[in-house]
Each structure stands twice: as C-alpha cells, then as structure tokens.
Amino acid sequence: MRRADRLFQIIQVLRRSSRPVTADAMAAELETSKRSIYRDIATLMAQRVPIRGEAGIGYVLDGGFDMPPLMLTSDEVEAAVLGAQWVAGRGDPGLARAARDLIAKIAATVPESLRPVVMEPAVSTPPAWQHAVETLDMARVRAAIHAGRKLRLHYADEQGRETQRIIWPCLVGYRETTRLLVGWCETRDDFRTFRTDRVVEADYLDDRYPGRPANLRARWFKLMEAERAKWEAQGNSEPCA
C-alpha cells in the first residue's frame, strides 16, 4: 500500500470508530508495522489533522473534521449497491425509493470504468418476499424516532386480541417478511417489540419521552447482548426469536 493511501486509510479507521484506536490495531488492519503507524500519525498531526491521543493508549479523530470528496473503490461501490438493493426490496416505500435513487446517483457519479459495477453488479440480494399489509406510516414512525416522540399503538396479538400501548419508539428492525418496531412500553415498564403489520392504528403524539433516542437504543442493544450471552452459555448456537 502506498504511504498516501495508508494516510487516508488511517483517517478512515479513526472516523468509523467512536473509541480510541491503538497503533497495534491500525497496524494489523493496514498490514504494516506499528512504527509506520506512529510515523504516519505524526505526519497527519503535522498537517493539522485533528488527531488526539498517544502511544500505548490510542488515537481519536475530533468531530467536525472533513475531507474533500474522494473516489470510491470498486469494493465500496459494490457494498453500497448491495445494501441499497436490500433496502429497495425490503424497506418501507420511502426508504425503498431513496435506495433506488441512491443507486442511480452512484451510477451517475462514478467513473465510466466503475459503472458496470453499479449497472451489472456481481453481487445481489435474493428476491424479497411479499410483506404483510401495514397501516403504519413508516416515514412518520422514523420521524418520531428521530424526534424522540411517543406513539400510541392499537395493537393486535397473534390471537387478534387488541390492546392499547404508549411506547417510546427507538428502532425499526427488519426480518425477511416482517418489520419490527422496538420501544419502551409504558404499560409493561420494559422494552417490547411490535410487529408493524399487527398495528391496527397509531397516534403520533407530540409528547417527547425522557432522554435521547440513541441512549434508549443503547440500552436495548445492551439487553440483547446480555440475552445472547445467556443463550449461548446454555449451549445454544442461535438466540431465540
């Protein structure tokens, strides 16, 4: 790898991490020596790239740093197209349309040599199954999550019994044929997962729930990790649904 490419990759490694990254970790990923990483970090700092940290502890890139647009690699183009294909086939109408627009924009901006990677990709997702009919406006649900606003759901369980719940929505999850809405349920005083096709009606409330949506998601992910660890400790290879 050329040194100029390695300098850019060091910035990329730091940009995608929210925690300090050690020189050892960067050297292993970039297949170079730790001494080279130290020299490269010093070069970047001398060029006023806002990197903080020190040897033995790790390095972080201060927020707000930006670089001029750089050309995507072939692998990066394929990764973006593959992800957009999946969303186009399984996302709600707004996200599916955005995914198709994204593929078109990538095709229009990459060099001619990379255009076949977009228009004739070597990777693909399997055809999407027909999703169950939903009454939820998923665009409004996503807006409520971003704003940290509560939802009142009229929800039917698998036996058709209806209940009313006020939830603090924090995440929309995707399975092959269904979408799931994750949130804190005020009735159960705990996290609950709701199949979006079983929501009979939804009221989009103006009330904000306490804390940030990102914090609520972090709590849920931590709970899921604990459940997974417990499941694997019992000798199971896959967590329960």
Residue 240 pLDDT exceeds 60: no
The CATH code that applies to domain 3-61 is 1.10.10.10
Question: pLDDT tens digit string along 97-151?
Answer: 999 999 988 888 888 888 898 988 898 888 776 666 778 899 999 999 999 999 9
Element (H, E) at 195: strand 190-195
Q: Is 11 helix (H, G, I), strand (E, B) or coil?
A: helix
Q: What percent of the chain is modeled with pLDDT above 70?
A: 93
Residue 187 pLDDT exceeds 90: yes
Helices within the chain (DSSP H only): 3-15, 23-30, 34-46, 74-90, 93-109, 115-119, 138-147, 213-233
| pLDDT for the residue 181 | 96
Cβ contact 142:172 at 8 Å: yes
d(CA 146, CA 149): 8
Cβ contact 41:23 at 8 Å: yes
pLDDT band at 172 (very low <50, low <70, confident <90, very high): very high
Average pLDDT over all residues of the chain: 88
Element (H, E) at 230: helix 213-233
| pLDDT for the residue 37 | 92
The CATH code that applies to domain 138-233 is 2.30.30
d(CA 162, CA 157): 7
* CA torsion angle 120 123 129 133 (round to 10): -70
pTM: 0.68
